[in-house]
Amino acid sequence: MMMNIPRIYGITVLVGVIALGTLSSCSDLRTDLPAASSGALKVHPEGWAVTTAANFHGNAIRAANWDMHTCQTCHGADYRGGTSDVSCRTCHSAAAGPENCTTCHGGANNAPPRDIGKNTVVTARGVGAHQTHVLGTARARQVSCLECHNVPGGVNDPGHVDTPLPAEIQFAGTLSSKATTGTTPAYNAQTVSCGNTYCHGNFKNGNTTYTLVWNAASISAAACGTCHGNPSRPTLAEQALPKTSADGGTHPNNLSCVTCHEGIVDANLKIIAPLKHINGKLNVFGAELEL
């Protein structure tokens, strides 16, 4: 028994030393603890939802070439919350959520303004005469986006965001390419202009060489005779008159448009049926003839 006493004593001393060391270590750790935080977990930087902030998420998506797959990782494939339980559709309430056309460009009708650079003035090439075409005017019918663009079914479809700006222009619609002169519609990205389109004179007795500047401050095409006739002539009737034999054409030398185009234009040369003006047909004597 006497031989075991020192060993027991030693164990007792060792346990005491460990206990003291442990208490000392806990005390040191406790003084190093950070202050408690009352804020929520932040995944995105400050300003992520502020449109004017440098960190606005729209800028980040633009920098990623409009790729929103990263967003879907947390917010779900339909952007309704996913694992984050935070829905993008609270703000992006239109069909397809953030992938709706109006998110990056366009208003209610999907066409600019605004363009993807946030421009709203017609002199911006991304804005230009979009609304004039999409809405139509008192003189002419609306023009489908398909007349000039390959309209994608989704953001990531080929031919949409997979190539650099400016947007591709393809005149494959029934109106823009419905020329009767054998020339091909064309868009010049350097001069921001289109020419050889049926819509602007590329038809029999029309101004086949007329070139329209897309982002001009004023719309010269609003003048009668711009696409057919000669706007520089003194009277409106003379301005609107298509090419006659004197100009190398075949149109009758008759200044009374209403005589042949009744129901489309009145005696004062006002277009009274804009849906039948620039519709890809020859409207004469009440009939619509295919070009």
Mean pLDDT of 117-141: 93
CB atoms within 10 A of CB 15: 10
pLDDT of residue 209: 84
List, edge to edge, every strand of the sheet that includes 186-188.
186-188, 193-195, 211-213
Give the per-residue pLDDT at 284.
Answer: 93
For 68-81, write each residue's pLDDT tens digit. Answer: 999 999 999 999 99
Q: Is residue 90 part of a domain?
A: yes
Query: What pLDDT was estimated at residue 191?
Result: 93
SS3 content of the chain, % helix, strand, coil (to 5): 30, 5, 65
Percent of the chain with pLDDT over 70: 86
The pLDDT assigned to 93 comes to: 93
The answer to the question of residue 178 being in a domain is no
Domain assignment present for 124: no
State residue 20's pLDDT score.
43
Above 50 in pLDDT, residue 14? no
Q: Is the pLDDT of residue 140 over 80?
A: yes
Whether residue 99 is contained in a domain is answered as yes
How much is the pLDDT for 269?
Answer: 93
Q: Are strands 193-195 and 211-213 parallel, antiparallel or unpaired?
A: antiparallel
* Residues contacting residue 74 through CB under 8 Å, at least 6 positions apart: 43, 82, 83, 84, 86
Give 191-227 pLDDT, tens digit per residue: 999 989 998 999 999 998 888 899 999 877 778 889 9
Average pLDDT over residues 81-110: 92
Sorting pLDDT into bands at 50, 70 and 90, what band is 286? confident
pLDDT, mean over the chain: 85
Binned at pLDDT 50, 70 and 90, residue 23 comes out as: very low
> In the chain, how many domains are there?
1
Q: Is 87 within the bounds of a domain?
A: yes
pLDDT at 40 (0 to 100): 60
Residue 82 lies in a domain: yes
Which span out of 112-121, 157-166, 167-176 was modeled with the highest average pLDDT? 112-121
Which helix (H) or strand (E) is 57 found in, with range?
helix 57-63
Residue 95 lies in a domain: yes
pLDDT tens digits, 217-246: 987 777 888 999 998 999 999 999 999 999
| pLDDT for res 38 | 57
Choice among 33-42, 128-137, 243-252, 274-283 with the minimum mean pLDDT: 33-42
CA distance 194 to 149: 13
Q: Read off the pLDDT of residues 31-69 as tens digits, 9 standing for 90 and up.
A: 665 665 555 667 899 999 998 999 999 999 989 988 999
- What is the DSSP code (8-state) at residue 271? B
Residue 86 sits in which domain range? 57-104
Residue range 92-99: mean pLDDT, rounded: 92
With respect to residue 80, please indicate whether it lies within any of the assigned structural domains. yes
- Distances from the Cα of 63 to the Cα of 31, 161, 204, 232, angstroms: 44, 12, 47, 48
Strands 281-284 and 287-290: antiparallel
The reported pLDDT for the residue numbered 36 is 58
pLDDT in the model for residue 50? 94
* Structure-token pair, residue 278: 């620039």
Question: Is the pLDDT score of 29 beyond 60?
Answer: no
| 103-127 CB burial, b ≥16 within 10 A, e <16 | bbbbeeeebbbbbbeebeebebbbb
- Dist CA 244 CA 233 (whole Å): 14
